[in-house]
Amino acid sequence: MQSTPTSSRVHIGIFGKVNSGKSTLLNALTSQEVSLVSEQKGTTADPVYKAMEIYGIGPVVFIDTAGFEDDSSIGILRIEKSREVIKKTNMAIVLFSDMDIEEGMQWVAALKEQNAKVIIAVNDMENNNAVGIVAKLKLEYNEEIIIVNALKKHNIEKVKEALIRNAPSDKEIDITGNLVKEGDTVMLVMPQDIQAPKGRLILPQVQTLRELLDKKCLVMSCVTGQIDETLAALNKAPSLIICDSQVFKIVHDKKPKESKLTSFSVLFAAYKGDIEAFLSGAKAIDSLTANSHVLIAEACTHAPLAEDIGREKIPNLLKKKYGDLSVTVVCGADFPKDLTKYNLIIHCGACMFNRKYVLSRIEEAKRQNVPITNYGVTIAYLQGILDKVSF
């Protein structure tokens, strides 16, 4: 049985000073020994992810972060990783354990700035003044504060209840939106080239197919070379055709006039990001020249192959039209802090990222006045069919 992808789970980050009890709290919340617990400072180096289900929220992933105020030799790098987690955090538990609350409140502010829901907890540790810490926090934070003792499992249920109350509502955004309704026939064109894992479908195809089945659509699938045969096998034109962006033009030229057309990447542009921002960013493509510098951002970290869309196909399309411009490819969590040297950012469908993380990248691009678009939108624009694509 397939589990819910991490990218589709509500992300819950746990933040606090070194040795404040974050890992112990995570272990109590999950009822498992997920994180290593030690009195030694800096035990948690890289963020630790644990997927689970919470009744009232659904699939979530907890993220145990490295503590701030880490004065070890690699402490700055650990804290930077924790700051990166903020960008993908839907909800946060900030754990306090002593009277020095100033830096903790700075993290609360940073989380709120990224539109994360914040729950403040005070760890009732031996010989600390938990009540006094709460009183001091109340001067800065006029919302609920929960006193917990993770070792004794005290008030762990209260933390879960707070998470349920603060669960994000946008997790209900779906992939196909209003493009289909119950009973519609939908045709999926899915090339199985060397980039497709043998014996499996790629994640956007799986998620889209499952959603169409949930919506009680009639689904017909084929590879690119069987478009004509598939259309002939149907007794009427499909309401919607969803294809891989790489075959946009082929499908567009073969599809019935009455069938709407989109791609998995375009659907994910709206599902994971901001379709209006991506459409606006695509307008910058026409201003590219041989002296331009384009950043291509991939969410996954697969080994590139000859037919790779981000490293091969899109750069080749751009260079064929605009000359030998410069292209930089980054993948995974790598994303330059300074975007101003780029004339355009082209992001993948981001099936491996949660929506919060993609939106944070879009906002950062906007802040630095750099246009950003998406793989599918870019290909449709370059092939002159963007105005024929359904969103």
**Where are the CATH 3.40.50.11410 domain residues in the chain?**
274-388
Return the bridge partners of 12, or none. Answer: 62, 91
Rounded Cα distance between 290 and 287, Å, is 10
Average pLDDT value for residue range 90-104: 94
Rounded Cα distance between 242 and 190, Å, is 8
Rounded Cα distance between 75 and 72, Å, is 5
Rounded Cα distance between 202 and 378, Å, is 20
Classified by CATH at the fold level, domain 6-171 comes out as Rossmann fold (3.40.50)
Structure tokens at 29: 């919340």
Region of 11 (left: φ > 0; alpha: ψ -120 to 50; beta: rest) is beta
Rounded Cα distance between 88 and 68, Å, is 18
Residues in the chain, how many?
A: 391
Average pLDDT value for residue range 346-352: 94
Classified by CATH at the fold level, domain 274-388 comes out as Rossmann fold (3.40.50)
Give pLDDT, residue 2: 57
Phi first, then psi: what are they for 122, rounded to 5°? -115, 125
Give pLDDT, residue 169: 74
In this structure, of 67-76, 106-115, 259-268, 333-342, the range with the lowest mean pLDDT score is 67-76
Closest CA to 331 of 310, 317, 316, 315: 310
Is CATH 3.90.1140.10 correct for 185-267? no
Give pLDDT, residue 66: 86
Give pLDDT, residue 197: 61
Dihedral sign of CA atoms 199, 203, 205, 210 in order: positive
Asked whether 346 and 296 are in contact (CB, 8 A), the reply is yes
**Where are the CATH 3.40.50.300 domain residues in the chain?**
6-171
Return the bridge partners of 60, or none. Answer: 10, 52
Residue 188 CB neighbour total at 10 angstroms: 22
Question: pLDDT of 268-326, one tens digit each?
Answer: 999 999 999 999 999 999 999 999 999 999 998 665 555 678 888 999 999 999 999 99
In sequence order, which residues have a C-beta less than 8 Å from that of residue 10 and are 6 or more positions away? 57, 58, 59, 60, 61, 90, 91, 167, 168, 171
Give pLDDT, residue 304: 56
The model carries a pTM of: 0.89
Give pLDDT, residue 201: 86
**Where are the CATH 3.40.50.11420 domain residues in the chain?**
185-267
What percentage of residues in the chain have a pLDDT greater than 90? 74
